[in-house]
Amino acid sequence: MSAFDIDAASAVVIIDMQYDFIAGGALAVNGGDAIVGGINDCVKTFSKKDATIVFTQDWHPRGHVSFASSHPKKKPYDEISGVPGAGPVLWPDHCMAGTHGARLHRKLKVDLAHLIMRKGYHQEIDSYSAFMENDKKTSTGLAGFLKEHGISKVFLCGLAFDYCVYYSALDGVAAGFKTWVFEDLTRAVDSPAGRAASARKDLQAKGCKLVAYKR
């Protein structure tokens, strides 16, 4: 277990804690609603340490490239390749801009956020990562925002561990940030089976530290 310190050079990035990703949502992640309280505690701790707080929000147009419904003869969770900006799997329609499913959970301490960043709003490009969209060319602007605010350490939590948290962590490392994932404040889709274990191993190999927020 790696030790960590939270200070003014730290940022916590809370990934996609939206209604479509929790119980009852179009793309519910098992146990997703169980981490809301822990994330709020984390947000308050970072606020007290004068750290930067960022929430991300999936914000898709109707007919988005990531939706299985946009691809003839495809079903949610089917694998897909050869479609720039999409994959490795297709999803149910989710987090469509302006809908209830796209809203951040009402109990989250969003009043303490310095930035609420929307991603995935380009019709033909999905955006798992908080830093780079899936074409690996289009930046969300988050890295620049954090660097302009003197951030050198990034801590990640939210949904889902093996997709949006995973890719955000990889891109955080690639952007030059010291990067941690709070494992107890995230949950995985784990589809295809074994993806969560593979993501965990890859993160460690790439230099991301996997820790528990509650020590």
Which of 42, 119, 153, 171 is an active site residue? 119
Active site residue 164: yes
Which of 42, 95, 157, 164 is an active site residue? 164
Measured distance CA(76)–CA(92) in Å, rounded: 5
Measured distance CA(5)–CA(60) in Å, rounded: 35
Active site residue 119: yes
Residue among 69, 56, 181 nearest 127 (CA)? 56
Contacts of residue 132, Cβ cutoff 8 Å, sequence gap at least 6 = 138, 139, 140, 167, 171
Strand partners, 157: 14
Say which amino acid occupies 191: S
> Does residue 165 contact residue 15 with C-beta atoms inside 8 Å?
yes
Whole-angstrom Cα Rg for the chain: 16
Which of 16, 33, 58, 126 is an active site residue? 16
Active site residue 50: no
Would you please indicate which residues are annotated as catalytic (active-site) residues?
A: 16, 119, 164
